[in-house]
């Protein structure tokens, strides 16, 4: 059985089920699989199987204490009726770039691919214990709703979501605050995503809070991509996109493909890197950032420095200055040196910056390139792509697409991480049409997209606001304690 260890201490070893239940390691590190680069998947077999079959095949190599029957049940429950497209994540050619559409799930964002499956994996893991789980999740916009939707009324699991108040789109806000469910709580926080995420991490390590929860047999865990159960399902769509290109005759089996990924927390592109380590033929990963270009600077200089102004953009899910999943890349790129990683993370915590060694930096630069796109150029790209192809990109996907167009690699797959309807007003404005009302904006945008507004977004207009609490960061611990009583002791 392959065990997961902490990025900061190889002696912190747990099974995959326990890693999913824990969320993050007690030492503050993230769980990684040391043998990941020894797994070699059969590409020819992958090209013969469905998305769900590939999910079982791929995850069976990563979550080794789940039986095949357990994984099959988890995958079937997650994907049977949740996605509007049979392919789950279809690929389309837009000019000379292949666009991987990841937004056909219940909340119209790429997070659905993992957050329909994580509740199944977590519930399965809980069955072997007598514990209950309380999920604490910080969100920059999309994770919150996808997690709320996935975990709504799941037995023995509660969820608290913290989002940056007035720093998400109007539709993202409505998606979260109208969420029904006896086990869900949603809080706006006075601050940005990094403030929320940093405090959630501190709460996971808070001895007093953990002792309080332990007395009630409650385990604190996460639905962010710091949880390996949120991360590994995303590996599947990288392999599946490759399969689609092979079956369409666009590439031959074994050909290398590049990927352009819009990212803030580094989770989505890290899943691609995991696929690469497991045998996916990749030429280059392009890390596409918005004006909060901390990753662009890191990939250019080898220095990670979050000591900079936070910029609120029209691509709010990428408004992040602390990219948590980068820690996992550092682990593998440094030849699995947990002492180095621990030192860098300590420097980040104390000084807000760190510089990696030349050898690790060279390893990363051999596979990763980068680009950053500000709001003005994001809007121009949305307009340009529509004028040329009649295809509508959301502000996050447009950043990846522009980065893909500017690189020389072909074939290249650009990840489309959200439906344009989630950002209707900003997309419309890019297309030259101002509309202050978000519902009218969606109606107008449907004429450009030439399809129906997703029903799960259209119905938001008529739903009641159920969660209207806005708190400061210091109050997050108190509301977590209160929620244990509300969720588990009503």
Active-site annotation, residues: 111
Q: d(Cα 281, Cα 273) in Å, to the nearest integer?
A: 11
Residue 437: phi, psi to the nearest 5?
-90, 120
CA angle (279, 272, 12) in 5-degree steps: 85
SS3 string of the chain?
CCCEEECCEEEEEECHHHHHHHCCCCCCCCEECCCHHHCCCCHHHHCCCCHHHHHHHHHHCCCCCCCHHHHHHHHHHHHCCCCCCCCCCCEEEECCEEEEECCCCCCCECHHHHHCCHHHHHHHHHCCCCCEEEEEEECCCHHHHHHHHHHCCCCCEEEEEEEECCCCCHHHHHHHHCCCCCCEEEEEECCCHHHHHHHHHHHHCCHHHHHHHHHCCEEEECCCCCCHHHHHHHHHHHHHHHHHHHHCCCCCCCCCEEEEEECCCCHHHHHHHHHHHCCCCEEEEEEEECCCCHHHHHHHHCEEECCCCCCCCCCHHHCCCCCCCHHHHHHHHCCCCHHHHHHHHHHHHHHCEEECCHHHHHHHHCCEEEEECCHHHHHHHHHHHHHHHCCCCCHHHHHHHHHHHHCCCCCEEEEECECHHHHHHHHHHHCCCCCCCHHHHHHHHHHHHCCCCCHHHHHHHHCCCCCCCEECHHHHHHHHHHHHHHHHCC
With the CA atoms of 140, 219, 20 and 110 taken in that order, what torsion angle do they form, in degrees rounded to the nearest 10? -20
């Amino acid at each position: 059985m392959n065990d997961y260890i902490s990025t900061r201490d190889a002696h912190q070893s747990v099974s995959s089920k326990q890693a999913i239940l824990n969320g993050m390691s007690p030492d503050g590190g993230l769980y990684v699989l040391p043998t990941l680069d020894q797994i070699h998947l059969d590409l020819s077999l992958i090209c013969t199987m469905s998305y769900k079959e590939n999910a079982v095949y791929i995850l069976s190599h990563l979550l080794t204490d789940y039986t095949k029957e357990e994984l099959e049940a988890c995958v079937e429950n997650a994907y049977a009726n949740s996605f509007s497209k049979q392919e789950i994540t279809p690929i389309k050619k837009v000019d000379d770039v292949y666009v991987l559409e990841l937004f056909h799930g219940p909340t119209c964002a790429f997070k659905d691919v993992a957050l329909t499956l994580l509740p199944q994996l977590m519930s399965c893991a809980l069955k072997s214990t007598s514990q209950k789980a309380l999920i604490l999740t910080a969100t920059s916009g999309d994770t919150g709703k996808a997690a709320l939707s996935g975990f709504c009324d799941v037995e023995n699991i509660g969820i608290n979501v913290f989002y940056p108040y007035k720093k998400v789109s109007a539709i993202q806000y409505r998606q979260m605050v109208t969420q029904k469910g006896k086990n869900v709580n949603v809080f706006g926080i006075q601050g940005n995503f990094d403030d929320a995420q940093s405090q959630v991490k501190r709460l996971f390590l808070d001895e007093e809070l953990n002792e309080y929860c332990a007395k009630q047999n409650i385990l604190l865990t996460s639905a962010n991509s710091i949880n390996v159960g949120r991360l590994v399902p995303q590996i599947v769509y990288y392999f599946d996109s490759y399969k689609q290109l092979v079956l369409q005759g666009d590439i031959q089996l074994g050909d290398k493909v590049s990927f352009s990924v819009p990212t803030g927390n580094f989770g989505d592109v890290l899943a691609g890197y995991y696929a690469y380590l497991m045998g996916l033929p990749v030429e280059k990963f392009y890390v596409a950032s918005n004006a909060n270009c901390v990753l662009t600077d890191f990939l250019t200089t080898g220095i990670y420095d979050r000591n900079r102004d936070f910029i609120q953009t029209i691509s709010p899910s990428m408004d992040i200055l602390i990219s948590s999943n980068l820690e996992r890349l550092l682990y593998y790129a440094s030849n699995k040196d947990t002492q180095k990683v621990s030192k860098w993370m300590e420097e980040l915590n104390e000084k807000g910056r760190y510089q990696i060694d030349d050898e690790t930096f060279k390893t990363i630069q051999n596979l990763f390139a980068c680009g950053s796109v500000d709001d003005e150029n994001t809007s121009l790209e949305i307009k340009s792509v529509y004028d040329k192809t009649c295809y509508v990109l959301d502000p996050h996907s447009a950043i990846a697409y522009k980065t893909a167009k500017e690189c020389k690699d072909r074939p290249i797959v650009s990840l489309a991480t959200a439906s344009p309807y989630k950002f209707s007003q900003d997309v419309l404005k890019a297309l030259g049409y101002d509309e202050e009302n978000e519902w009218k904006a969606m109606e107008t945008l449907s004429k450009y997209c030439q399809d129906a507004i997703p029903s799960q977004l259209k119905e938001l207009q008529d739903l009641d606001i159920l969660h209207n609490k806005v708190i400061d960061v210091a109050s997050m611990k108190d509301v977590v304690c209160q929620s244990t009583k509300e969720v588990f002791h009503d």
